[in-house]
Amino acid sequence: AQKVTQAQTEISVVEKEDVTLDCVYETRDTTYYLFWYKQPPSGELVFLIRRNSFDEQNEISGRYSWNFQKSTSSFNFTITASQVVDSAVYFCALSEPSGSARQLTFGSGTQLTVLP
């Protein structure tokens, strides 16, 4: 069965520091999709990125970057020069073809607090 582990429950950094959020997943499938979502204090889930299992290129979007390493089953998320507005819970999620509607399996989330 699929599983997503976010070992870091809480991280606290000072503004402008870089921070990396770890995500490790388990799956028996060779085709799957990985996602990151942000949940700010207001509670909604905001989509950040989708990556398919065949695309191991790292991606950068502004201050955000993602490092997908299939060999270690990891999909880590780095925020460069963190800002107070980055404070949120960040969820990593996995979607597999074994679920016909490919529902998401979420990790337990990492609470990021960026201090001014």
Q: Which of 21, 91, 94, 110 binds other proteins (CB under 8 A)?
A: 91
Residue (12 or 108) nearer to other proteins, CB: 108
State the minimum distance, in angstroms, from the CB of residue 37 to other proteins.
Answer: 8
| Secondary structure (H, E, C), the chain | CCEEECCCCEEEEECCCCEEECCEEECCCCCCEEEEEEECCCCCCEEEEEEECCCCCCEEECCEEEEEEHHHCEEEEEECCCCHHHCEEEEEEEECCCCCCCCEEECCCEEEEEEC
Size of the chain in residues: 116
List C-alpha distances in Å: 43 to 3, 37, 38, 73.
Answer: 23, 12, 9, 28
State the minimum distance, in angstroms, from the CB of residue 81 to other proteins.
Answer: 26
Residue 105 is a binding residue for other proteins (CB under 8 A): yes
Query: By CB under 8 A, which span of 10-18, 38-46, 61-69, 76-84 interacts with other proteins?
Result: 38-46
Query: By CB under 8 A, which span of 12-20, 58-66, 69-77, 106-114 interacts with other proteins?
Result: 106-114
Residue 60 is a binding residue for other proteins (CB under 8 A): no
Binding site for other proteins (CB under 8 A): 33, 35, 37, 42-47, 50, 52, 91, 93, 95, 99-109
